[in-house]
Amino acid sequence: MHDKQHAMRHTAAHVLAAAAQRLYPGVKLGVGPVIENGFFYDILFPSPIAEEDLEKIEREMRSIIQEGHEMIREELSMDQAVGLFAQKNQDFKVELLRDLREKGTTKINADEAQDIDVEHPDTASVYHTGDFVDLCRGPHVSSVKEVGAFKLWKLAGAYWRGNEHNAQMQRIYGLCFETQEELDQYFVMLEEAKKRDHRKLGKELDLFVFSDLVGPGLPLWTPRGTLLRNKLDEFVWTLRQARGYQRVEIPHITKKELYETSGHWDKFKDELFKIETREGHIFAMKPMNCPHHTQIFDRKSHSYREMPQRLANTTMCYRDEQTGELHGLSRLRSFTQDDAHVFCRESQVKEEAMKIWDIIETFYGAFGFKLRLRLSTHDPEHMEKYLGGLDVWEKSVSGLKEMLVERGADYFMGVGEAAFYGPKIDFITKDSIGREWQVATIQVDRLQPERFNLTCVNEAGEKERVVMIHAAIMGSIERFLSNLLEHTAGVFPFWLAPEQVRLVSVGQDHIGFVQTLLNQLVQAGIRADVDISNDKVGKKIRDAATSKIPWTIVIGAKEVEGGDYKINVFGQEEDVMIPSAELIDRAQQASKLPL
């Protein structure tokens, strides 16, 4: 997002708040940050508003824009700012200011940091828009008339500061672009996205379900969905196995001491599901796997001749996400990582990272995903967010840059986007309707080996510190599937489809042959099913198309007598003719992994 667009969207958020305050006296304002494609504002209304009220608020916003107010910045001392917003009964603003003054930046999250200047905790900036004033660090356009094309988009619930024990507010989302044409194009994309929503497709294709009795953010997988997950995992494992990885398995809980040693407890203890045993010990449901894997590596002394050690593990992880932040398969409380960790010597880091890179390119290339790369680094101005010293971080970043250059990769920098224990290369893909998603990562970690004292014995018989490379290919199988479902609109390639072939009987006389052919296909490893109902053939074909079955074969008298099979291939206008003797071989060829 370029600077003008960011400033324009930030100003639009102020105009929204000003309009809400005019129409609903007594509103309490939360925060109004810029987000991708627009902005939002969290507001506590005297009485909750409805979706149909957005049009009225939008009209008021347009009136304010017509008034042409300048965006006037004013610097206040912290005490003056607290007094100003206390006088206006804006309790949430006062809380933010007091938290910054009394508790420092650790209590201010990323969205709040757009409204409050954490770089200068002794002062606060406000912006005047006519008679409306709001706490904000800026930047803004010079006048409200410079706000481009916008539209209030949707209404959602949001707890103040993301805490379910705080006030329940209403979040108004707005879209904002420089031109009406850009806004219109985005709405076309949104309509297409609705059709491709993975939650809708998951239900239509019978892949997964959520149960109120099990709980939000905890998906249950049907037989079809489980086939899909397993096939994806098999693909990744096949790529890893060819490069010397070994499977391991770990428990789903651990003593908190493991995460205290790794540093995860201090960083993420509020996001962990905790268990207290009858003996008073504290355990946690694992939110990640790397600390467990360090203990497998550290079970014995390793000679340099045994290095590297490549450990792979597809396993469930758990995080105590806020209910309001859960979204289909893309934000969950339980998710499955196709995780792997390489323990290697310094001299082996580049070669091992390049192997991971090869796996990533092969995997995502199989689905038509184009990748671009981000080098996610530490923020040198805020090293308190990371483990280890600046010299270690600079060494790790330099090594990743060297790999990027050697690979001839086009990449951009993501300062401050690193994991707390090391920098990473993030692979970002764009789906078929133009949305970007972060997918795989390669993370080089010199800090976990230090904290866990992980070594190998080198040629001189001395202990040598190892390096740990984190490498999830899908990252989360669930999140990858949400992206894949929406990218493909649920049309899976033959090798991946949960049901590859649907056999349709024309009449009762053909059912016996259909059942025999089904058995032959299944025995040959093809995922096939039949429709031998009394419905008309046209309806059976339409039902198969609704389920997006790759091949549908109608079986009538000609096929029973040994004639060629006419294959209705999903998404193709013309049928494909396959001689009866070649059907199974052709299906097996189409079932092979795209290695």
Task: Name the CATH topology of 3-192.
Answer: Threonyl-tRNA Synthetase; Chain A, domain 2 (3.30.980)
Q: Which residues are catalytic?
A: 290, 319, 337, 339, 341, 424, 470
Three-state DSSP at 224 gives helix
Confidence at residue 476, expressed as pLDDT on a 0 to 100 scale: 93
d(C-alpha 80, C-alpha 179), whole Å: 39
CB 498 within 8 A of CB 524: no
What is the full per-residue pLDDT of the chain (595 aa) written as tens digits?
Answer: 458 898 999 999 999 999 999 999 999 999 989 988 899 999 999 999 999 999 999 999 999 999 999 999 988 888 898 899 899 999 998 988 888 777 655 566 677 666 676 566 678 888 999 999 998 888 899 999 999 899 998 999 888 988 888 999 999 999 999 999 999 988 888 888 888 999 999 999 999 999 999 999 999 999 999 999 999 999 999 999 999 999 999 999 999 999 999 988 988 888 899 999 999 999 999 999 999 999 999 999 999 999 999 999 999 999 998 887 889 999 999 999 999 999 999 999 999 999 999 999 999 999 989 899 999 999 888 888 888 888 888 888 998 999 999 999 889 999 988 888 889 999 998 877 777 888 999 999 999 999 999 999 999 999 999 999 999 999 899 999 999 999 999 999 999 999 999 999 999 999 999 999 999 999 999 999 999 999 999 999 999 999 999 999 999 999 999 999 999 999 998 999 999 999 999 999 999 999 8
Please tell me the CATH code under which domain 203-250+286-488 is placed. 3.30.930.10
d(C-alpha 408, C-alpha 419), whole Å: 24
d(C-alpha 531, C-alpha 198), whole Å: 26
pTM of structure: 0.80
Nearest Cα to 340, choosing from 378, 377, 308, 306?
A: 308
Tokens of residue 120, six digits: 């200068």
Q: Which CATH superfamily is domain 501-591 in?
A: Anticodon-binding domain (3.40.50.800)
Tokens of residue 70, six digits: 């300048």
Residue 437 to residues 38, 98, 289, 377, 483, Cα–Cα distance (Å):
17, 36, 23, 19, 8
Q: What is the CA radius of gyration of the chain?
A: 28
Three-state DSSP at 330 gives coil
Tokens of residue 336, six digits: 């499955």
pLDDT digits (tens, 9 = 90+) for 304-316: 999 999 999 999 9
Write down the domain spans for the chain: 3-192, 203-250+286-488, 501-591
Three-state DSSP at 276 gives strand
d(C-alpha 95, C-alpha 577), whole Å: 71
